[in-house]
């Protein structure tokens, strides 16, 4: 099957493209700046509102992962606008284009995040839980709503509410590993905030599963056993054989990243459960944190 993928060069997208190829599919990368993208590529420019629609005719599925990095820069008003617009404009362009095709795909798996739920303390959250009231929740609501043209055209749409993806090559884990390896890792603030995580293999595996499952609407892409930040810190230190005795005061990350970004990225508590995936019979390769970290870090 031909499967179009946006964000194909990113952390998740690059692994997904490899997995789809290994499974016998033909991934078509949607690219913006690559001067020599190759034959399995489709040109698009979300900011300019342009896309090569003809090249999408007859594709079997689309996986939409593109968007401005949440933590790439400190949050100014302009950066927050870029984060929102990159997701809403790109999703709207893609959904509208797919809806207008003569041979549209059967499914659109569109990116989202557990930021949808906002700050929720110890509450257990499933796909039926309502949205939060922070900036990232607003972004996720608008992001998901932008798929409406595809849904109205009869395309099955699922929203991938992804948690913290564990990959030693990128994302949150890669950024924290150096400190932990030097024995400088510690809980963030009180450590009581819930971190809902997923191994990179399960992130990709769940996306592959959803391509073939008759599932639409929000889907939490998180492991079934979320942990508090204090527990995450303890387990990571144990796997690496390093102490984790030095707590990180909340003001440190807030000075480094900016108060709002640090608060929403590191200190917001969301205890998210993968209800839809579990009920549909998806079998997690790494359901517990220690096993996931040992697998990812070769320990």
pLDDT at 103: 97
Residues in the chain: 299
H or E segment and range at residue 27: strand 26-31
- Burial of residue 39 (number of CB atoms within 10 Å: 0-12, 13-18, 19+): exposed
Mean local confidence (pLDDT), 121-149: 98
Number of separate domains in the chain: 1
pLDDT at 37: 62
Please report which confidence band the pLDDT of residue 256 belongs to, taking 50, 70 and 90 as the band edges. Answer: confident
- CATH number at 72 reads 3.40.50.720
Interval 47-72: pLDDT, tens: 999 999 999 999 999 999 999 999 88
* 156 lies in some domain: yes
Residue 28 belongs to domain spanning: 2-165+198-222+272-284
* 118 lies in some domain: yes
pLDDT at 35: 57
Interval 76-89: pLDDT, tens: 999 999 999 999 99
pLDDT at 250: 87
pLDDT at 100: 97
* 128 lies in some domain: yes
User: Residue 50: CB partners within 8 Å, gap ≥ 6?
Assistant: 43, 44
Q: Which of 84, 123, 115 has the alpha carbon at shortest distance from 268?
A: 115
* 185 lies in some domain: no
Q: What pTM did the predictor assign? A: 0.95
CB burial of 157-190 (b: ≥16 within 10 Å; e: otherwise) equals bbbbbbbbbbbeeebbbeebeeebeeeebbbbbe
CB burial of 75-95 (b: ≥16 within 10 Å; e: otherwise) equals beeebbebbbbbbbbbbbbbb
pLDDT at 238: 96
What is the percent of the chain with per-residue pLDDT over 90, rounded to a whole number?
88
* 171 lies in some domain: no
* 245 lies in some domain: no
Please report which confidence band the pLDDT of residue 289 belongs to, taking 50, 70 and 90 as the band edges. Answer: very high
Provide the mean pLDDT of the chain.
95
Q: Which residue has the higher pLDDT, 144 or 73?
A: 144
* 242 lies in some domain: no
Mean local confidence (pLDDT), 174-182: 91
Mean local confidence (pLDDT), 150-164: 98
* 260 lies in some domain: no
Interval 4-50: pLDDT, tens: 999 999 999 999 999 999 999 999 999 987 655 667 899 999 999 99
CB burial of 206-233 (b: ≥16 within 10 Å; e: otherwise) equals bbbbbbebebbebbbbbbbbbbbbbbbb
């Amino acid at each position: 099957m031909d499967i179009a993928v946006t964000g194909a060069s990113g952390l998740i997208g690059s692994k997904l493209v490899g997995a789809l190829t290994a499974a016998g599919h033909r991934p078509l990368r949607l690219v913006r700046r690559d001067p020599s993208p190759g034959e399995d590529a489709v040109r698009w420019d979300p900011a300019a509102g342009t896309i090569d629609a003809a090249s999408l005719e007859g594709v079997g599925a689309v996986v939409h992962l593109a968007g401005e990095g949440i933590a790439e820069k400190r949050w100014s008003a302009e950066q927050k606008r870029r984060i929102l617009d990159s997701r809403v404009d790109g999703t709207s362009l893609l959904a509208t284009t797919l809806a207008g095709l003569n041979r549209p795909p059967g499914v659109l798996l569109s990116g989202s995040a557990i930021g949808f739920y906002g700050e929720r303390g110890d509450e257990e959250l499933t796909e039926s839980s309502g949205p939060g009231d922070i900036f990232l929740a607003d972004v996720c609501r608008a992001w998901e709503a932008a798929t409406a043209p595809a849904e109205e055209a009869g395309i099955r749409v699922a929203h991938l509410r992804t948690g913290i993806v564990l990959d030693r090559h990128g994302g949150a884990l890669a950024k924290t590993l150096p400190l932990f390896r030097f024995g400088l890792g510690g809980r963030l603030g009180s450590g009581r905030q819930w971190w809902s995580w997923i191994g990179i293999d399960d992130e990709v595996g769940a996306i592959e599963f959803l391509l073939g499952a008759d599932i639409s609407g929000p889907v939490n892409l998180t492991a079934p056993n979320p942990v508090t930040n204090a527990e995450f810190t303890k387990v990571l230190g144990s796997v690496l054989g390093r102490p984790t005795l030095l707590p990180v005061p909340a003001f440190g990350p807030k000075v480094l990243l900016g108060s709002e970004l640090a608060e929403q990225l590191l200190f917001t508590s969301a205890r998210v459960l993968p209800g839809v995936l579990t009920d549909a019979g998806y079998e997690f390769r790494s359901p517990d944190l220690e096993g996931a970290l040992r697998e990812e870090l070769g320990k």
